Amino acid sequence: MNDKIIIIGPQGAGKGTQAQLLCHHYDFVHISIGEIFRWHMEHHTKLAARVQRIMNEGRLVPDEIVEEVVRKRLEEHDWNWGFVLDGFPRTRAQAEYLFENWNLDKAVYLDIPDEVVHGRVMSRAALGQGGGFTKRADDNPQALRVRLTEYHEKTAPLLQLFQKKNMLVTIDGNNSIDDVYDSVVAGLDLGEPVRPR
């Protein structure tokens, strides 16, 4: 088994949570581009200096920077059993890069309405104050508006592309974590997990 899965959906749809569950149960490697960028910010790297303002404002980082990060990460080849790519691709150019270089199997789309996005992200921000979640500089109303606009303008149109390639698995993300996970596993037709629940 060597599955190459991407997970796509608006902010707060549960991409990170579902990616982590899949990786735990099936031994895939979770690759979150946002996490990689946040690591750079914490460590004040040169890359961080290039992306910090863009990220904090909620805008998308330029394609060439993101593609370089993804290429370096995937070339580590530590994902024998497969990977779940969380937060990439988010633009047409990124999707083309991915199709040209890596044989993707499936795209999981977590579908939730914008009203739910606002509630979820703002409660993540509130929880971040007290612990449990890490407080994100871009979990505030202004940045969230920009992130959602970027999502609808640049990322949502990619769904058609995945649909055409017969790779799209659409899941109703407006359910409990466990219910969404059950639908994801059923939709991906993954077989027996390495670590059962």
Residues near ligand AMP (CB under 6 A): 33-34, 37, 54-55, 58-61, 66, 87-90, 94, 138, 147
- State residue 120 phi and psi, 5-degree precision: -70, -45
| CA–CA dist 151, 148 (Å, integer) | 5
Q: Least distance from C-beta 49 to ligand AMP, angstroms?
A: 14
Q: Least distance from C-beta 11 to ligand AMP, angstroms?
A: 6
Nearer to ligand AMP, 61 or 112 (CB): 61
| Chain position whose Cβ is nearest to ligand AMP | 34
| CA–CA dist 122, 100 (Å, integer) | 37
Q: Least distance from C-beta 93 to ligand AMP, angstroms?
A: 10
Write out the two tokens for 186: 């059923």
Nearer to ligand AMP, 55 or 74 (CB): 55
Nearer to ligand AMP, 60 or 190 (CB): 60
The two beta strands, 29-32 and 3-8, are unpaired
Helix 63-74 vs helix 46-57: crossing angle, to nearest 10: 120
DSSP H or E run through 32: strand 29-32
Q: Least distance from C-beta 141 to ligand AMP, angstroms?
A: 14
Nearer to ligand AMP, 143 or 185 (CB): 143
Is 131 strand, coil or helix?
coil
